[in-house]
Structure 1
Amino acid sequence: MTDFPKTHELMRRGAEFLGTEHAILCGAMSWVSERNLVAAISNGGGFGVIACGAMTPDLLDAEIAGTKELTDKPFGVNLITMHPDLTDLIAVCGKHKVGHVVLAGGIPPKGSVEAIKGFGAKVIVFAPTIALAKKLFRSGADALVIEGMEAGGHIGPVSTSVLAQEFLPALAEDHLVFVAGGIGRGEAIAGYLEMGAAGVQLGTRFACATESIAHPDFKKAFFRANARDAITSVQVDARLPVIPVRALKNKGTEAFNVKQRDVAGKLDTEELAMGEAQLQIERYWAGALRRAVVDGDVENGSLMAGQSVGMVKQEEPVAEIISGLMAESEAALTKRG
């Protein structure tokens, strides 16, 4: 039935929840996690997730429809909780009968979880503390992703290994918990599964897949990089609470510091209100990421990458990446008996 019996047994709850062969999710990477990569991951036995990001409802509508044309397997949609059109985006997911919605970027607004569950979808959330995780489960969340600071993009302050040691013993017996952040090989997957994880989420390993539409120069930057090149952004003004972002060091990282100082100066002169200032910071990242992923400007754009980037050496088809991870996990579990 399966080439990976030990791994599949440990993944069974997660795979049944996702409706997939393997309990491996792809993290939602703006501009990267679009229909081609999402469909390839789902077709390869994993669980693709569309990164809605700053999309309008019409754009998300088209992206879901386009993904459905490429796969008949389950996939999810990642929505940012602070998106001004969140209610309409949820309605688009309902229209397409999306089976799983991931809510990221903050505590879900009142009514959002209920709206998603209202059309029969499962809700996946993020939480930085066990107390908040328990609260979200009580509020209707069906599964949780814990993501460590090794991940690419917006990150928290705690490592994946520490989060796993905190969350899994406390929650994994009664709840579905997926582990993310810095996972690049199957041996790590095996370890987290043994600790009680229902599955794992990877982003960086999939960013340069053959099916990824990322610019060739974006991919080459990943192939050249090692773990130490994936650094976190710096907050230059305490009034601008900037969530750290992990990306490959380039001119764009320094440009972000310049942008922060510029916005802070406009706060000083009252040219900007605080809300608009914070919004400008978020818009910066959206534009910088597009410049790197779509336009291939790897010097000035944002090369968001996790510390596992050093394990990304070449373009590979998604199916080979997934089967390789599963084989590594299975070998590790077999070796341990």
Structure 2
Amino acid sequence: MARGAAFLGTETAIMCGAMSWVSERNLVAAISNGGGFGVIACGAMTPELLDTEIAATRALTARPFGVNLITMHPDLFALIAVCAKHQVGHVVLAGGLPPKGSVEAIKETGAKVICFAPTLALGKKLLRSGADALVIEGSEAGGHIGPVSTSVLAQEILPELAQDNLVFVAGGIGTGEMIARYLQMGACGVQLGTRFACATESIAHPDFKKMFFRASARNAVASVQIDPRLPVIPVRALENKGTEEFAAKQREVALLLDQGSIDMGEAQLRIERFWAGALRRAVIDGDVENGSVMAGQSVGMVKAEEPAAQIIQTLMTECEAALAGR
């Protein structure tokens, strides 16, 4: 973990996954102040909103934090410029392969680039393209997910890449014991989202947090693709009426696609907007029946509100005990 901590500039190499509406100034600063690495979820923010959010986060912490940018964002290069203005040290690119010139644009500012690698081949390609570190995230994670479990990705990718490169593992991690296992396999650190979503400093609605406390792993289900012609990245969330509404939204968009009213790009954008709105309803408004309560399968290990610093301390204590026991 020393390699990962040195790369991030933190006490521990525990990153917080970028969760839209949740990973904002308060939680990000609390995680960084607690010895971890907070990451602002830019999501669909405009450059102006990101500018404000970075400045507000800097007012709450003097420690390093990163910014997560979605590769399909229409203003990606303007957002990179905002990160450069604030001298953000680490930019995480998520949501697909980085568009041409984006990695170079970030590195020109002096920042480090972290990319998600869904396969070994893509991991190698991203490293050749200039990525400074990789995150491998399994399907147990919350939010947008890939098809392969964390344990399988770790077995495929860590032996090949972890010795000479920085690789963080994410998806389904809820205890320090599991962190220890991935460190022993060669990971330089980990990323957790679900465990931090209900931190004391998280602005998520009390009803959103209560749903986490009541849930078990089997309640966090992946969304189903209704129409094979409409490529939809699955999203893992707690089952509710919103899950049914997404199926209806897919049928609606597929029909418009059939009619020629919209093209594929617009169809995918409408799906993304659905998720952004549904997530906001749950996180901010507390509508946990109709909104999207995105959660990973480690949700069953989240039992109560705790300060972010305490969560990190507990994870590290468990990790150290596990390693000492071996």
**Matching residue of 1:15:** 5
Deviates most, 269-278 or 325-334? 269-278
Q: Does residue 151 of the first structure (1) align with residue 138 of the second (2)?
A: no
3-state SS in 2 of match to 1:25: strand
Aligned partner of 1:232: which letter? Answer: A
- How far apart are 1:264 and its partner, in Å? 1.1
Q: How many residues align?
A: 326
- How far apart are 1:271 and its partner, in Å? 2.1
Q: Which runs of 4+ in 1 moved over 6 A?
A: none
What TM-score, normalized to structure 2? 0.99
Match of 1:96 among 66, 86, 92: 86
Q: Does residue 241 of the first structure (1) align with residue 231 of the second (2)?
A: yes
- How far apart are 1:272 and its partner, in Å? 2.0
Q: Does residue 46 of the first structure (1) align with residue 41 of the second (2)?
A: no
Structure 1: gaps spanning 5 or more residues: 1-10
Aligned partner of 2:111: which letter? Answer: A
**Matching residue of 2:261:** 271
- How far apart are 1:266 and its partner, in Å? 1.5
Aligned partner of 2:155: which letter? Answer: Q
Matches within 5 A, 1:140-179: 140-179=130-169
Counterpart Cα distance in 2 of 1:71 and 1:205: 21
Match of 1:280 among 260, 265, 270: 270
Counterpart Cα distance in 2 of 1:200 and 1:295: 30
- How far apart are 1:24 and its partner, in Å? 0.2
**Matching residue of 1:87:** 77
Q: Does residue 193 of the first structure (1) align with residue 183 of the second (2)?
A: yes
- How far apart are 1:111 and its partner, in Å? 0.7
Counterpart Cα distance in 2 of 1:275 and 1:43: 40
**Matching residue of 1:77:** 67
Counterpart Cα distance in 2 of 1:198 and 1:141: 15
Counterpart Cα distance in 1 of 2:90 and 2:123: 18
What TM-score, normalized to structure 1? 0.96
Match of 1:204 among 189, 194, 199: 194
Quick one: percent identity of the two aligned structures?
A: 80
**Cα shift readout 1:252-279 (whole Å, capped 9, x = no counterpart):** 0000001101111112222222221111
Counterpart Cα distance in 1 of 2:18 and 2:112: 17
Structure 2: gaps spanning 5 or more residues: none
Aligned partner of 2:269: which letter? Answer: L
Q: Does residue 59 of the first structure (1) align with residue 64 of the second (2)?
A: no
Counterpart Cα distance in 1 of 2:246 and 2:191: 28
- How far apart are 1:324 and its partner, in Å? 0.3
Q: Does residue 229 of the first structure (1) align with residue 219 of the second (2)?
A: yes
